[in-house]
Each structure stands twice: as C-alpha cells, then as structure tokens.
Structure 1
Amino acid sequence: TLIYIYIFIDVFFFCFFFLQLRFLSLSSLSFNNMSSSIITRLLIASCTICILLPHNVWGRMAFEKLTDYDFAGTTYYSVKNLSLYECQGWCREEADCQAAAFSFVVNPLSPTQETQCQLQNDSSAHNPSAAPQRSANMYYMVKLQLRSENVCHRPWSFERVPNKVIRGSDNALIYTSTKEACLSACLNEKRFVCRSVEYDYNSMKCVLSDSDRRSGGQFVQLVEAQGTDYFENLCLKPQQACKATRNFANARVGVSEEKVAQFVGLHYYTDKELQVTSESACRLACEIESEFLCRSFLYLGQPQGSQYNCRLYHLDHKTLPDGPSTYLNHERPLIDHGEPIGQYFENVCDKSSSSGTGLNTSAMDKLDTLPISFDATEDPTLNITRNDVNCDKTGTCYDVSVHCKDTRIAVQVRTNKPFNGRIYALGRSETCNIDVINSDSFRLDLTMAGQDCNTQSVTGVYSNTVVLQHHSVVMTKADKIYKVKCTYDMSSKNITFGMMPIRDPEMIHINSSPEAPPPRIRILDTRQREVETVRIGDRLNFRIEIPEDTPYGIFARSCVAMAKDARTSFKIIDDDGCPTDPTIFPGFTADGNALQSTYEAFRFTESYGVIFQCNVKYCLGPCEPAVCEWNMESFESLGRRRRRRSVEGNDTKEADEDMNISQEILVLDFGDEKREFFKADPSTDFAKDKTVTIIEPCPTKTSVLALAVTCALMILLYISTLFIYYMKKWLQPHKIAA
C-alpha cells in the first residue's frame, strides 16, 4: 500500500508540472533547458528515495526446495543444459517466476548430466491441499517472501518434506496464518538454534525445534502427518548443522559402501567439484563450505592430471524420500565407463540432545527436565560422589532424568565423560535401543503403546526398565539398570533414585509426572466463528482452551491487553485472578476444560492491534475459583488454583507449572469499512495472507518518514520551478513601444 501511494503522488506531481508548462505556453529555450534539468533532478530524487525505502516493505526473497517431488504448474519458459544454480538464479531474477522445476537425465556414458529447467508463473505448491507427485532426479524450488533479516544468500533457505513431522522434539509452539510467517519465526528465533519447522495448514500451528532428521536418537524419526509439512533450516552455519559434534562416516543403509558410492556418483547432482590431494582435504572442504550446507562428499582417489577428484553434495540418504531403500532398489549400470567409484561419506551427528558437547542443553530441555534428588536406601551417610549409586568403577557418573510425554517416556542421560555402549529397554534390546558412540549426552524414548518397548501400565501409572550397557553384546556388573515410572500426579515433582539390592547390576528407581498440554487463546464472535478483525463494541467470546481428554484443569491470572507497539497496556485480570474492571472485561467462567469471558471489543487510542497475554497455570481436576469484589459485590472468577493438602500435614502445595500465552486481534473504529477475516479452510483461500501474529501489517516509522520526505521534496521542486519562472519573467526587460 505504501508503494502504491508513493507512485500515485509521484505521477500526480509529474503530470501537474507538465500541465502548468502547457498552460503558461512556455517556449523559451533557456527555460526548457531549466525545466529539463529540474525534471531530471526530480526523477533522480524519486528513484533514489524509492530505492532507499525499507526493504522490509516487501520482505526478503527466499526459496524452499523439494527433492524428488514435483508440483503441477504453468510453465512459461523452458531451457536445457543449465546448472541447478543457474536455473534457480533465473527464477530469482524473473519477477513472474513463482517456482522452478529442475530435472536431469542419468546417462553413464555422458561426461555431463543432461538437465532441463522449467520456470513457472503459477504453481500449486502454494496450495496446502495440493498433493505433490513423486519424480526421480527432480529438484522443485518455490519462491517465498520471508520477513526476516536472517535470510541467507544461499540458493534455498529451507528443505520441504510434505506430510511429515518429527514427534516429541518441539521447542516452541506458536500460531501463524501463513507458512511464510512460520519459516520467518524460525529464522528469527534467538533462544535456541532452530533446525526444523513443522507447519499444520489446518490448525495454523507452527512448531519450532532444535532437532532435525539427523539428530541422534530414535525420537527424531519422521512420521506421516497429513496436512502438515516438515521444513529443515538450510541457513545454518556449518558448525550449527549438528546439536553435538559433526562427523563424517560411511552411509549405513544396509548395502555395501561400493554400491552406495556408485549410486551417488551417478544419481546425485554435483553441487561443487574440486581437486584435492587427499580424502581428508575433501572432507575439510565439505566441513567449511559456506555457499550451501554440505551434507556429503565423494572422494575419487588420487588426482590424475587436471581432473576433479572431490565432489560435494547438499544431499544425503536422509534427504531422499525413500531413505535407505533408495539404494536397495538400485541396479548397477550395464556399461562400465571405467572411472573410479570412489569413497562416499555422509554428515553424521553424534547421538546427543545437547546443542554442543558437554552438559549444556537447549532451552526446552531446561523447561522439561524435572528436579532430581538422590536417596540412598542402604547407607544413610552415602554422599553424592564418584562412590554413589550413579557412578561405576570406571569413574563414569550418570545424570539421568525423565520427561513424561503424552505418548512416550523420554529418558535423558548425561555423563561426566564420553560413553560408549548401548541404552535399551530391558527385554526389548532389538526393538527399543540406541547405540551410543563417544557421547556425553543421549536420549532413549520408550513408547507407551505397542510391544516395541514393552512399557507396562496399571491405572494410569506407566513403568519400564532401562539398561545402560557398556559392551555392545554382553551385560556386566558395571552396567546400570533404572526403573522408570511416570504417573499423572501434579503434586509429585521429584525423581527419586533408590538402590534395590536384589540383583547385579543394581536397579535404580525413577519416578516422574507428565507435562500438561499447551493452552491456546481463541476469540469468537456471537456465531462462534474465530475472528481476527472486529469493530469496537462487537460482542466477543474470549476463550482459553486445552484438550478435553486430559486430567488437568486450568486457571488464568495476570492477563494484560497491550497495544500493538507495546507502549500502552491495561491489566484486565490481576495477579489473584480477578478482573480489574468487569465492565470492560468480566471474569472467567468454566466451560468444560476451557475458560471463557464475554466482553465487548475495545482498542487503544494509538493502535488498532490489541494483544492479549495471560499467565495460565494447571490444576489436577477442576480449579477452585477466586472470590472477587466489585462495587461492594462478591463474585467468583476462575483465576485461582485449587490448593492441594499434603498427606502429612495441613500446609498446602502448589504446582510450579505455568505458561504465558498471547493472541492478537485487530479492532476497527465505527467509521471504518467492515472487513471480516474468519478462519476458513486454507485449501479454498490459500493465496490470502492473513498473518497477524508474526507479520507487522502497519508501515514502519522509517517508511512513513521516507514517504513524507518524498512528498516534501516534490512540492519544493514544483514551487521552485514556478518561482524561477516568474522571477525570470519579472527580471526580463520590457520592450518600449515606439
């Protein structure tokens, strides 16, 4: 909108200037020269200010890439034998290009791969309901506009995998109205390194994670999820590619290394070729590559003449849709061209959940980890030293914690020195295990359902036995056994380690409690439709919701309404859970597991956008309402937690869990044109940008200032032109009649 206003003003003054020239019938050559000079300066000034307008009015251009997938689209230009990066560069430069489809034909007899680049001005990739088609040797690149200063200068910023998610690795959950806003949030994330994103087009849920497909442990496996796409951040620096140490090793895909290397040399598109003196030099080139995120390399042996012997790739077997099975179905070429097969190495991340070596964890791990206390049941004088129950005779000490989730039990282990061995569920060493290689932090997920991990459940209490084994095959007395238990009891927050001298090695008990489900805010109109834009005085239903199938209740306190710029705020619910002014925002009432309050829309004087933020806490079962007073009257509001009596005494306990949630709504004045933005099926309205949670819809102060300077400059130039003309006419000597 700002650009359109600027162009309109520019054209208006330009046309008005020439109309004045024609009206005054100016024909003087000197004035024509003067006017040409002024026009030239006007155009230069206009173009300069237009260039200096903030680039965030448009957003930054970026690309997402899909491997071996293709979307339907309208091709307006097709060319052969371009490189992958030339194809992407053409689409970047073409304003009409919305997507680029790059494919190549495998020909073992040809020294170069025959390629085809198709530029599309319309693509179904922007439609959430469109299903991509599998296509071998295809890279599909979709143009995006991301509002982030951290968009990298690489060919593509994200790798997209349709209808896939990673379970149980969420670090942050937000709601955005577009996929682009979700990806921008990942690039803008400061609390942790955002390595992957999941976006649900139906619920508009955006999940950020510091894990990706290459993070160690079985808890990062991709699973099917219709309507949700998985994205990997490819703007990471090489040292950020892994949460722990980044190494390179032979691909473990169930086939011989020679067969894998032969497939890679034939079917992988080479991103960069160079000549090196050794395999370690080729490895180093991949490690420090900055133009793209290097995932693997192929070393072809000692250099011969001027031939390249090191190939770098942005691919690995995890990038391919079929994963390891891709190599199983591959047949050797009928004709051998005589070139060396080489050695293929892939990027391998240590099986650690930390963001680096050592005992540092991500922000989410700190939130999820429950406090640990040690209880020596045999020797009351036992100290927590290398001689305690959590250390072995080798001097290795184990710090074990439990994360109780909705569908799994996550056992997190940290050690004071690198550990080599296995961690597995007792009796399920083949189906529920993780191999640990030289790592000081690792994690095992125990599924609650099925027989893979054999987790036992009795009246809501889930238990299992975990073995920490040093040797890959045999079990010794130095190994550790932990009894893990999760219960749905918010009053129990401790994890207790106790010795059970009934077997060798010792068994240690761990008890924990599950995390509560995340709440969300919804604002509904009188017809129970979720709204984002309303008018002042509209009757709205403010709801804080959690899933119905949980044993928890919620209460809200410290709710604040803030202006869009956060300069003005108004507390609507105080710290005790009572409304500060029930005439503006009444107290909460219960509606099942949800809280709701019916109020009339209001806004702040200087801002149309109103952001609501509440502190939400949990109870086991329904929460006790707060008793509030207003105008000498008492009433109840669900803003105070129910206190739970301890078994031993009369003092009370309160749970420590709380969560801040927020929601934004746009409130128009009475005279503004009514525009309704109801959340509809994204498949029927996928082209509209309805983001209000991430993207700033109003022009910035810098943009407004630039527009004001432009207008002032144009007016000044026009006035100067007229002034010079009349001064010239006034100073010109008049002819005296004979």
Structure 2
Amino acid sequence: MLALFTSLRKSAVIVYFSCTVYSDFLFNIAFRCRSANYNNATGACELSNMDRITLAGSNAFQAADGIEYMENNCVEEPTKLCEFKKLNGMILKTVDSVYQDVGSVDECRELCLNSPYRCHSYDYGDTGEMVCRLSHHSRATLADIQDPYLDVKEAATYELSSCYNVSIDCRSGDMVARIQTSKVFDGKIYAKGSPNSCVRDVNNSLEFELSMAYDNLECNVRKNGLGRYVNDVVIQHHDKIVTSSDLGLAVTCQYDLTNKSVTNEVDLGVHGDITPALSEEVTVDSPNVAMKITDRSGGDVMPSAEVGDPLALRFEILDKNSPYEIFVRELVALDGVDNSEIVLIDSSGCPTDHFIMGPIYKSAETGKILLSHFDAFKFPSSEVVQFRALVTPCMPTCEPIQCDQEESSGELRSVISYGKRRRRRSTADSHDDMLLVQTIQITDKFGFDRDGNKTVGNEAVFIPSSDPGLCINVAGLIVAATVFLSAQLAIIAAWTFVYQRRKLSQKLNQDNMSVSVSMPSGLSSNRTDSLCKLYDGYSSSHSRRF
C-alpha cells in the first residue's frame, strides 16, 4: 500500500472531494478508500485505504510527474480516544469552520471531533473572544503550502495526533479487544500483567485486536464479581519501552448468570391429538466456587504465613445443595513482583512435584470440598505469592485421575488426584472453566527486621578487612575471647602463686641458716593467710591492669 503514495505531481492541484459528488470509485468499493492516484498518461486509477493523515511522519508520500493525487475528506475516522498536540505561537491563515460564543476550549475540541468532515486541527480565542475555528488541515497536509501559519506569540493551534476506537467482543470463551486507529500503528498490544506471554505484534495497520481467553492463565483475565471479567490492556507504540503516547485500557465483560429455564422441542413425526404423559422443567444454578488458603486441616483462613508452615489449598462449592462436583487443573503459583511462576498441578491434574504440592483429594466432610496440602514457600523477589487454578464443574460426580508419585526411595507410587483433565470440548463450551485467584503473604525465617538488620541472637556479620568477604560468627567470637582471657588469667595466677612461694621459701632458708627461733604453733595458719592476702592483692591489681 505504501507504493500507492509514491505518486504526486509537484504542480498537481490536490482535490478534496465533496461528500456528494466526484468519483464513484471512492464510495462504491469493498474497503474504506481514503485516497486515489490517477495516471494522466495511462488513465489508471489506483485506490488505497491510506492517505497523508494515516501515514503522517513517514516518507511514503513522494512527488511524481504525471500523477494526480485525490483524497477523501468524508471518510469516517475513529473519534473516541483522541490526543491533540499543542503548537504554540501559530494559527492557520484559513480554516473550514468558524464558531462563535463557544464556552471553552474543551467545547471547541468536541466540535472538531464531531464535525461533518475530517477535522484535524482547531484554535480557540486567538482571533476573537469565544471564537472556535476548525480545519481539516494539519502539518502533514500542508507540506506543499508556503507559509500556511500566522506567527502569533500568544496563540496556539491544537493538532490531532491520533484517535482510537475500542470495542470489546465478549464471547463464550474469551474477550476480544478490537482497536481502530486514525494513524497507522506499528507496535504491540498486550495484557498489562503479561507483556511477554499475552501479546500481539502489529505492523503498519489501522485495525488490530487481542484475544484473551478466560481459561488462559497467561492473559491474566480476572474475575470481578459474578459473571464479570476484567483486564488491563496496553497499546504500546515502541517495541521496547513505554512512552507518553502509549494508551492503557481497562476492558470488562459482563455476563448474565441468572437462572434460566431451558426447554427443548423435538418433532417425532407423530400427527394427531397427543396428550403429554409427563412434562418437566428443570432449572440448574451454576456453581459458585471459592479457593482459600487455610491451615493444614482446611479450617482457618491464613492471610499470611512463614516459609515452611503447613498449609492447604481449599476449593469449595459454596452451595451445599448444588448438584455439581469440581476438579482442579493447571494450578500455578506466581511471584507478586516479576510474574515468575511454577506449575503445581499440571493440565492432566497431577502434581508436578509432590515435595512442593500434594495431590488434590476430597474432604472427609463432603464431596463439595477439595484439599491439597503444601508447606509455605515464597519467591526470592517478593513476599506475595499468588495462586491461580482452573476449576471445572461436573455433574453428578468427578472422576479422579491416577498419578505416579516418586517416593524418597526412588520408587513410583500411584495416587489419586481430583485434578482430572476434562474431555476435549469445543471452544463454545470453554466457559465451563472457572479461573480462581488467591494471594498470601509469606515471609522468610531469616529474622531480618524492617531496617534490614538482624535480630539479637546467633548472627553472622560482615567484617570489613583486607580480605574481602571475611564472614565471622559474632557469638562464637565472644565465646572464644572469653575462654582465651580465662586461660590467660589462670596462667598468670598460677605463675604468681609459684613465684611468691619460691620467694618465701628462699627467705625461710636464709633465716634458718642465720638463727634458730622457736615459732608459735599458729604461724602456719598466719603464713597461709599472708600468702592468700598477697596472692589476692597481686591478682586483683594485675587484673585491673590487664
């Protein structure tokens, strides 16, 4: 299509069509025709669904000799979600429409969007008080016009950048967001929570769509009330980054799930008067299923836990008189930050790793409740763990599935799980599946407080030194230091005692050699007391110095 725009004679007059006359080719064709190229030499007429507005900013529009370019100014364009850019200091010399007594610039904007022609720019209050001027021109259509703007310092022109019409098709198994734009779009559309798994790349198109199935966990469709499904969609122009020109949409599908009476009539080819023997009308409510994170017994709901705590996932039909039972499949756990995920129950209904999540079994109380045991776990980057599961009702009962479970010895053991994969059905029946979501906050047991410090106890602290990465246990260091000091004190005390005793012995020998003195019987105890006092005094003074 871009090749159709490589033709414009420099001296050609650009003709804007009247909405009631001119070439029938532009109005009696199968697609939305926006422009045409007419070759004067060959008489060939080329039609296109693109024009200078839809291709603004590209180099697809070129000059060519012998070609006349015509543009349809009456084609209907999207006018719902529109963005205008402000051009300061300039206004158009000529315009298409002038309105007086317009109350505000917003009213002038609405007049442009609802004009009977393709309005691409407007100005307000620059040529007179409460005056609104509209034009089908923009910078993209004025490239060949010399000085189309007046330079007015305090004035401003608002130029249409792009518009988007968004429609939601709510089908039995999915919701489809359909987008129409006024300017060719080259980028991507994706579900906000799943930019890599639920995405569609768009290449130079004016219309595109994104389908989001209710049973597709990757598209992050959420159930918000009875029969109400919501999701957030992002229209991103750049392939890698989000910019201010991107658009975020909240899309919703609402279904009427009230009780319905269904009757079937069968013509068996019997003619004449027939008295019916039995007429029966049955109304069956759709089951209302809840998923909860509870303690191991399935009783108390657990809003938070620590890693390793014994927990259980509880799936329950709230209406005890419901004729349905349920089974679970495709149970996944997701990180609350970067959407990292692990599969706990696969598409067949079997646990992928019984060390993380056990099989799904019926409660001893009733067949309306399913339980699965697990120990609390978390992702490294977040304390929030989100569980998502697909639950399918079946009537009157659900058949379990045999799963092979590997024991610690390496042997396989067959276990029963009520996560049976349902029989393959058509797309129209996919609304039977229910997507259940539940979150829990799980903290670790490392003992970090909110400031990132450890609590008092046996702790490991990083000690800066010349050897990077040296890690020392503080409690062990204290014990070792205490033992070392005690040993040193004991050695000093023993050395002091021996030294004093030796000194005293030498003194006594000298005394015995010089004179013989009769000593009282109490000298031995006094000497012992003196030595003890001497030891105690020395030891205490030495300890103080140490």
Same fold (TM over 0.5): no
| Structure having the higher Rg | 2
Superposition TM-score, scaled by structure 2 size: 0.30
Relative CO higher for 1 or 2, CA cutoff 8 Å, sep ≥ 6?
1
Superposition TM-score, scaled by structure 1 size: 0.23
